[in-house]
Every structure is written in structure tokens, then in C-alpha cells.
Structure 1
Amino acid sequence: MRPNRLFLLAALFAATLPLQAREYVAIEKRLSADQMKATGLDQLTGQQLDLLNRLLSDDQQAVVKAAREDSATKVRGASFSDEGVKSISSALVGELRGWTRGTELTLANGQRWRVTEGDYTSMKRISNANVTITPGLVGGWYLQVEGHVPRPKVTRID
């Protein structure tokens, strides 16, 4: 198999990997025997197959890292570190008495967020409260308003 064709095949598989950080699964475990034969991968030596798996695994990690960095760029004020995304802290601008799906919230740092999940009604007005927006475990962002328990799921709108 020519090196360019092998690289193209490796890039194709890497591009289709999910953007979640999960353990790499060896190519020979993902493809059937017929698929291995059809792609010519069945002709690789054990050493070549190990190298291909190592390259695909490294590429998967690079794709995940790039996707996370791209996500941070879309959500200004968030930065990435080895531990992952940091939270965004600011204050609400103005007053509100709660939220429902679709409520738009403006923060003192200029960011605007829309509630995508969650309802809450407060008995008193919430004015200029401190807020923290943190990433969820499976994706998405959650708003914590100081002094209020519900945490609606939110998305950046600007």
C-alpha cells in the first residue's frame, strides 16, 4: 500500500472520530474482516498496524483538543487548561424574576446568554446578581445565579 494512500485512509478515519475524549479503539477492532481486506489494511504487518493505531490515536487527541479550543473561542471569557474549561464569572445586568426557556440574560462582561432548559420563578426581583457559568459534564453550559438553587442550561447568543 502506498504511503500517501495509507495517510489518506488514516486521516479519513481520524476525521470521523467523535469529538469526545474517549479511549481510542484499534482500527482492527472497528472494522470487519471484509472491510480490512477491502481497504488493504489486512496486508499490514503487526508493526505497521501498531504504527497506524498510534497515529490515529494521536490524531484523535489532537482533534479533540482543537475542537475544545474552538469551543472556547466561541465562548469568549472561557479559557482552556489541562484540567479543562474554566468557569465564566460576571453579574447580571438589570432585573429579572426568574427564567423560562428562551429567556435572554445579559452579563456585565457584555456576553448574552439564552436559557435552553429550565424554569424558575423568584418571589423577589433578582438585580445585578453575581453569576457563574460552568461547562456541563456532557457538554453545554449551566448558569448559577448567586443565592438561587436552580441551574438552567444556557447557550451563548453573541
Structure 2
Amino acid sequence: MARPLIRGLCLTMALLLAPLSALAQSGYIDIEQRLSAQQLSEVGLSPAQLQLLNRMLREAAERDPAPTVAAASASPTASAASEVGKRSAVQYIGLDDQPIKSRLKGDVAGWEPGTVFELDNGQQWKVLKGSMKLRKPLIAPEILVVPGVAGRWFLQVDEDMPKARVYRID
């Protein structure tokens, strides 16, 4: 009587755990399949940046496979603390980039989506989001283009003013 019961329990456990093991081995799913078209446009990544991000996330998934059921039941703070040491700056796209300090060619009276800024170093940056109207135009101001998370960049004319979200067009 006990053997059929044990066999039944083992079979039930195997059937319950099979989807979890298949899920853990399923691999990486591209971002385009995870997000809607609207969400992708809000992120503002170019096709090349999306391709690079997908490649990096796929490689990270291959290096660090999904946690098993036993690992998932461990305390979240313990696993989070151990994960911090494993992460490299490359996993956080953009955070290893350095700010770009330059001077604008010409003057600036404000910006809105579509405004193009040309820097003394030859780079051109186009405003994606954000708008600002200055009280008086600034003549060839010194600016800072600051990296953000996931390949985003922000143009700072003055530290006390809002930044414009920009992308490089040259």
C-alpha cells in the first residue's frame, strides 16, 4: 500500500517540477519579444543598441543560468548580496561611459525634441525628450553630455536647469 502511494507522490512531484526545469533551461528571450512597440520606443534605443543589449543579456544568461528551485527559496538578502559581487560594469550598459565635456558651437536659446546641438569636438546630438526656453540665449556655453542607464544620454547646459535627453547622430 505504501509503495503505490510513494510512486504516486514521486510522479506528482516530477510532473510539477518539469515545467520549472524547462523554464530554467529555456534560455534568453529577446527584448523585442518581451516589450511592446510603445515600450521600445519609450526606451529610445537604436536597432544597433538593441542588438548589442540582446547579445550582452544572452551572454549573461549563458554565464549565470536561472536559479534553481532550491536557490530561489534561499533568503533574498543573502542571494542579493552574493550577486552584487558577481556583476560587472559591462552588465549595466552606459554606466562605464564617461561624461563628455565640450562647448556648443553657436548660441542656444532653448531646445525641444528634434533640436540638434553641434559640439566643438565635432559631435552632433539630437534632442529626443525634454524642452526648455531660456530667458536669454547663451553664447557658446560649456556643456556636459552625461551617460545614463541603458545607453541613454543627457545634455546638461547648466547644472541648475533640466537636462535634455539626447542621442548622437554623427
TM-score (norm 1): 0.52
Q: Does 1:141 align with 2:140?
A: no
Q: Does 1:95 align with 2:107?
A: yes
Structure 2: runs of 5+ lacking an equivalent:
1-26, 31-52, 70-85
Query: Which residue identity is paired with 1:122?
Result: L
Aligned with 1:133: secondary structure? Answer: strand
Q: Does 1:26 align with 2:65?
A: yes
How many matched pairs?
A: 104
Percentage of pairs with the same residue: 28
Tell me which protein shows more strand as a share of its residues.
1
CA contact (8 A) 2:112 2:131 kept: yes
Structure 1: runs of 5+ lacking an equivalent:
1-12, 31-57, 72-82
Q: What corresponds to 1:116 in structure 2? A: 128
Runs of 4+ in 1 over 3 A off after TM superposition: 13-25, 27-30, 64-68
Q: Where in structure 2 are the equivalents of 1:2-151 lying within 5 Å?
A: 13=27, 18=54, 19=56, 25-27=64-66, 29=68, 65=90, 84-146=96-158, 148-151=160-163
**Superposition CA RMSD, Å:** 4.0
Q: State the distance in 2 between where 1:124 and 1:130 align.
A: 16
User: Which of the two has higher C-alpha Rg?
Assistant: 2
TM-score (norm 2): 0.48
Q: State the distance in 1 between where 2:111 and 2:123 align.
A: 17
Post-superposition Cα deviations, 1:97-134, rounded to whole Å, max 9, x if no partner, equal 10000000000101000000000000101211011111
Q: State the distance in 1 between where 2:149 and 2:67 align.
A: 30
Tell me which protein shows more helix as a share of its residues.
2
